[in-house]
Amino acid sequence: MSGLSTYEPKSGLTRWLDKRLPIIRLAHDSFVAYPTPRNLNYFWTFGAMLSLCLVVQIVTGIVLAMHYTPHVDHAFASVQRIDRDVPFGWLIQNIHSVGASMFFLAVYIHMFRGLYYGSYKAPREVLWILGCIIYLLMVVTGFLGYTLPWGQMSFWGATVITNILGAVPFVGESIQVWIRGGGSIDQPTLSRFFSLHYLLPFVIAGVVALHVWALHEAGQNNPAGVDVKSKADTVPFTPYATIKDLFAVILFVILFATFVFFMPNALGHADNYIPANPLQTPPEIVPEWYLLPFYAILRAFDFNIGPIDSKLAGVIGMFASIAVLFVLPWIDTSRVRSMRYRPIARQFFLIFVVACLILGWCGGQNPGLILAKPADFSATLTWVSGGEVRSEQFTAPSEGEYEEFAQAQRDRLAEQGATMTSITRENARTATITGVFGGTQSTETVTGATPDAMEEAITHAKEEVGSGAAFFSVERRSPYTFTVTTLSQIATFYYFFFFLVLLPLLGLREKPGRVPDTIAKPVLTEQGAA
Amino acid sequence: MAEPAANAHQGDDTTRRDFIFIAAGAASAVGVAATVWPFIDQMNPAADTRALSTTEVDLSAVVLGQQIKVMWQGKPVFVRHRTADEIGRAQRDDFATLKDPQSDAERLVQEDGAAGRPEWIVLQASCTHLGCVPTFVEGSSFGGWFCPCHGSDYDTSGRIRRGPAPANLPPAPYVYLNETSIRIG
């Protein structure tokens, strides 16, 4: 909206209106005459798709709310009724649930576009932050909406996420109860989630208006990342951007429709077709695909950091991964916007994209799943067959002296010629010591691919020996294992390393390639050469 | 432009206006806070939700070695009738290496401080990791509950023995009403 308006009302009516409410002028200046950089590529069409997604979600959502019942006893059935009985309910419900996924797919590409081409740098910091706010609102709205069908994943996802808030020190539990409206996820929770899920899209629409306003004030960034310097650098929004956006939107809608009509459940979890049951936990609780990277970061922290326990550390890590985006404009020190002219940063950026995809994959896996290990888990069993077994009870003089006293008992039996000894503690002071005298000592080593398989092998080996041995001594050896958690720890580390170390340092040290003086120059040169 | 006039009136007038300005500001700040609070507090548990805070359980229906899940404040609670073997394991392990050391007897104490009975254990059925409901698995590594979500293993006293959970299954506050019934909460 910077620059002079070129709108000229043609008819008497529009002239009359223009004096009173220049709304046609606003639309003309924003979407017709608006100058767009002439070198925009197809990554600049995702804004149009996202606008479409927001409209689609609001329209389908309003319709669904006419048929949905936000009650713990009826919510699941009412969604099934929409799918089966309501005329075209199946279509509208599928569009809404697939639409959420499409919305996130588009927003992620839109965000990576912004990261690659430096669209967050001056003078577009506020534009970028507004975008981060929209994304955060989308995450909350998506989470609230996923609770509404009241399936097992809805219920347990909500339980896990609200439990996460309980990790906040001091006030965590109060916040948790406040959000749930009770001790657990129940009717009050469902009612308020429905209300907020209806409200937030309109808040998003409001922030989108600010986002577009900020965009039109600062002007669009472009693949070269250089400022618009003259009229030669731009083309009018209509028809150039409008037609290009329309074409991209058509491709997007084809993908959208493919999911809606041919695989509406491909992106959801089968367990959400089981009605919510507070007494039964599903075997594995996973969020929707678009939140998996953050879920992986949450679970990557399986160790305590000083006074911060692992649970809180995971929560901090997860929130920090989004918070870091808000301060990105001030973290990246490079004065070159587009990574097209940043040969080193570009490679680290590609690794960053891979790290995000890895996090997404890890989020959907069992965290204990072993991906690689140098050797099997093994255990050595030692037992004595034959020989004489003697048991006796002993009482230590006091609880504090127990360990010492027990060791003395062991030593005493060993001196008497016991081949093996075993102690079973009964209470604070008394225990039974069993010793085997004579007999032959045997050992056996068993292995297993997982700790459980090894335990099974141990049980099996014990059964084979049977009553031939009074007791066994078992020495277990665990190899180093590379699990899904390890992989997500590496990816999480890189995620933060990229933002907090690489971007600030590279901006100072990297020697950028030659940035063109104007947008028009390289474009026109290419055209001339062709 | 208004400066000479302002200078001329420096003194009582300005002080009074400042006072009114600050007083009005303070009053509206209190007013806003008083108005906002009801809208925040309405999200806390309602009186009828809080009224559901106790649950009575008839123990005579639970045979030896069986457990029931009852709902207390919308959360599941295990009431388990432990066998002699389970009690033995629980008491023996008082001296094992525990992540969250607690003796079995401490975990059975009633809400009023009186000692519990070893054959009845009343536990909140939420894994202390992320709140899943553990399952009682006969013959599991520690003889007690196992959480299917992230593999936390609890013993027959509900103490954490292995896995990511940081603490024992919390005992639910209960008291014996008579020989065969308890009240939770």
**How would DSSP label each residue in A399-464?**
STTHHHHHHHHHHHHHHTTEEEEEEEE-SSSEEEEEEEESSEEEEEEEEESSHHHHHHHHHHHHHH
B123: closest CA of chain A, how far (Å): 14
Instruction: Output the pTM of the full model.
Output: 0.86
Answer whether A368 sits within 8 Å of B151, measured CB to CB: yes
Backbone phi, then psi, for A53, in 5-degree steps? -60, -45
A280 neighbourhood in chain B, CB within 8 Å = 133
Same domain as B131, residue B82: yes
Residues A422 and A449 in one domain: yes
Q: Which residues of A touch B149 (CB under 8 A)?
A: 281, 283-285
A316 and A455 share one domain: no
B99 and B65 both lie in a single domain:
yes
Residue A427 or A189, more confident: A189
How many angstroms away from the CA of A384 is the closest CA of chain B? 24
State whether A182 and B49 contact (CB < 8 Å).
yes
For the segment A57-81, the average pLDDT, to the nearest whole number, is: 97
- Given a cut of 50, the residues of chain B with pLDDT beneath it are 1-2, 5-6, 8
Which of A152, A189, A196, A281 to mutate to test binding with chain B, by most B CBs within 10 Å of its CB? A281
Do residues A473 and A412 share a domain?
yes
Same domain, A394 and A527: no
Q: In the structure encoding, which two tokens stand for residue A105, read together?
A: 């797919």
Q: Give the residue-averaged pLDDT of A150-158.
A: 94
B62: domain range?
Answer: 49-184
User: What are the pLDDT digits (tens) for A83-134?
Assistant: 999 999 999 999 999 999 999 999 999 999 999 999 999 999 999 999 999 9
Minimal Cα distance from B50: which residue of A?
Answer: A182
**Residue numbers of the domain that contains A321:** 286-373+484-530
**Domain presence at residue A427:** yes
**β-pair type (B135-136, B120-124):** unpaired
Q: Are residues B91 and B126 in the same domain?
A: yes
User: Contact, A211 vs A148, CB < 8 A?
Assistant: no
**To the nearest whole angstrom, how far is the Cα of A163 from the nearest Cα of chain B?**
6
* Measured CA distances, A448 to A367, A452, A453, A478 (Å): 19, 8, 5, 10
- Nearest chain B Cα distance for residue A471, angstroms: 18
pLDDT band with cut points at 50, 70 and 90 for residue A523: low
For residues B10 and B77, state if they share a domain: no
Structure tokens at A39: 């070198």
Q: What is the pLDDT of residues A313-340, one digit of tens each?
A: 988 999 999 999 999 999 999 999 999 9
Give yes or no: residues B151 and B119 share one domain: yes
Task: Give DSSP secondary structure letters for A321-340.
Answer: HHHHHHTHHHH---S---GG
Q: Are residues B112 and B130 in the same domain?
A: yes
Q: Are strands B135-136 and B143-146 parallel, antiparallel or unpaired?
A: antiparallel
Give the per-residue pLDDT at A433.
Answer: 85
The answer to whether the CB of A312 falls within 8 A of the CB of B169 is no
B 63-122 residues with CB below 8 A of A? 69, 71, 73-76, 91-92, 94-95
Mean pLDDT (whole number) for A201-211: 97
Q: Do A401 and A464 reside in the same domain of the chain?
A: yes
Mean pLDDT of the region A165-189 = 89
Q: Tell me whether residue A246 is in a domain.
A: no
Cβ atoms < 10 Å from Cβ of B53: 12
Residues A321 and A446 in one domain: no
Is residue A504 domain-shared with residue A360, that is, in the same domain? yes
Per-residue pLDDT, A465: 83
pLDDT tens-digit map of A361-373? 999 988 878 898 8
> Angle at CA B69, nearest 5°, toward B68 and B73?
145
Predicted pLDDT of residue B96: 75
CA distance A303 to chain B (A): 9
| CB-CB under 8 Å, A177 with B148 | no
Lowest mean pLDDT among A130-144, A490-504, B7-21: B7-21
pLDDT given at position B133: 86
Q: Are residues B140 and B116 in the same domain?
A: yes
Residues B31 and B113 in one domain: no
Is B150 among the residues known to form the active site? Answer: yes
Strand partners, A446: A379
Q: What is the CATH number of the domain that holds B146?
A: 2.102.10.10
Q: Is the dihedral of CA A474, A479, A480, A486 positive or negative?
A: negative
Tokens of A218: 């600062």
Closest to B74 (Cβ–Cβ): which among A182, A310, A426?
Answer: A182
Flag whether pLDDT at A137 surpasses 90.
Answer: yes
A430 compared with A347, residue with greater pLDDT:
A347
Average per-residue pLDDT in chain A?
90
pLDDT of A182 over the 60 cut: yes
β pairing state of A418-425 and A388-395: unpaired
Please indicate, yes or no, whether residues B63 and B36 belong to a single structural domain of this protein: no
Is residue B37 domain-shared with residue B67, that is, in the same domain? no
Nearest to B74 among A163, A184, A368 (CB): A184
Q: Closest Cα partner for B122 from B160, B175, B64?
A: B175
How many domains would you assign to chain A?
A: 2
CB B172 within 8 A of CB B124: yes
Nearest to B130 among A163, A184, A282 (CB): A163
Q: Does the distance separating the beta carbons of B132 and A285 come in below 8 Å?
A: yes
Q: For residues A520 and A526, what is the distance between their CA atoms, to the nearest angstrom?
A: 10
Is the domain of A441 the same as that of A497? Answer: no
Report CB contact under 8 Å: A183, B150. no
Rounded to two decimals, the ipTM of the complex is: 0.74
Give the model's pLDDT for residue A2.
Answer: 45
Tokens of A447: 């292995």
B143 exposure class (CB count in 10 Å sphere: 0-12, 13-18, 19+): buried
Region A204-216 average pLDDT: 96
Q: How confident is the model at residue A1 (pLDDT cuts 50, 70, 90)?
A: very low
Q: Which of B132, B142, B162, B169 best tests the A interface by mutation, with the highest count of A CBs <10 A?
A: B132
User: Cβ contacts (< 8 Å) between B132 and chain A: which residues?
Assistant: 156, 159-160, 281, 285
Give tens-digit pLDDT for A242-267: 999 999 999 999 999 999 999 999 99
User: What is the count of structural domains for chain B?
Assistant: 2
CB A83 within 8 A of CB A97: no
Residues B115 and B165 in one domain: yes
Say whether pLDDT at A527 is over 60: no
Letter for the amino acid at B95?
F
**Residue B25 sits in the same domain as residue B85:** no
Residue A221 has pLDDT above 90, yes or no: yes
The pair phi, psi for residue A39, each rounded to 5°, is -105, 15
According to the model, what pLDDT value does residue A503 have? 95
Q: Are residues A329 and A364 in the same domain?
A: yes
Mean pLDDT of all residues in A272-283: 88
Give the DSSP H or E segment for A235: strand A234-236
Same domain, A475 and A381: yes
> What pLDDT, on the 0 to 100 scale, is given for residue A362?
94
Q: Which of B129, B149, B160 to mutate to test the interface with A (most CBs of A within 10 A)?
A: B149
Both tokens of residue A330? 């001030």
CATH no. for residue A439? 3.30.1710
Domain check: are A296 and A325 in the same one? Answer: yes
Distant-in-sequence, close-in-space partners of A137: CB < 8 Å, separation ≥ 6: A200, A203, A204, A207
Tell me whether residue A237 is in a domain: no
pLDDT at A55 over 70: yes
Q: Are A351 and A421 in the same domain?
A: no
Of the listed ranges A294-303, A412-421, B16-25, the least confidently predicted one is A412-421
Q: What is the DSSP string of A295-325?
A: HHHHHH--S-BTTB-HHHHHHHHHHHHHHHH
Of A183, A302, A428, the CB nearest to B75: A183
User: What pLDDT is stored for residue B11 in this prediction?
Assistant: 53
User: In this structure, is residue A72 part of a structural domain?
Assistant: no
Q: Quick one: what percent of chain A has pLDDT higher than 90?
A: 62
- Find the chain A residues whose C-beta atoms sit closer than 8 A to any C-beta of B: 156, 159-160, 163-164, 177-179, 181-186, 188, 192, 278-285, 302, 309-311, 367-368, 424-428, 455
Q: Which of A151, A146, A164 is nearest to A104 (CA)?
A: A146
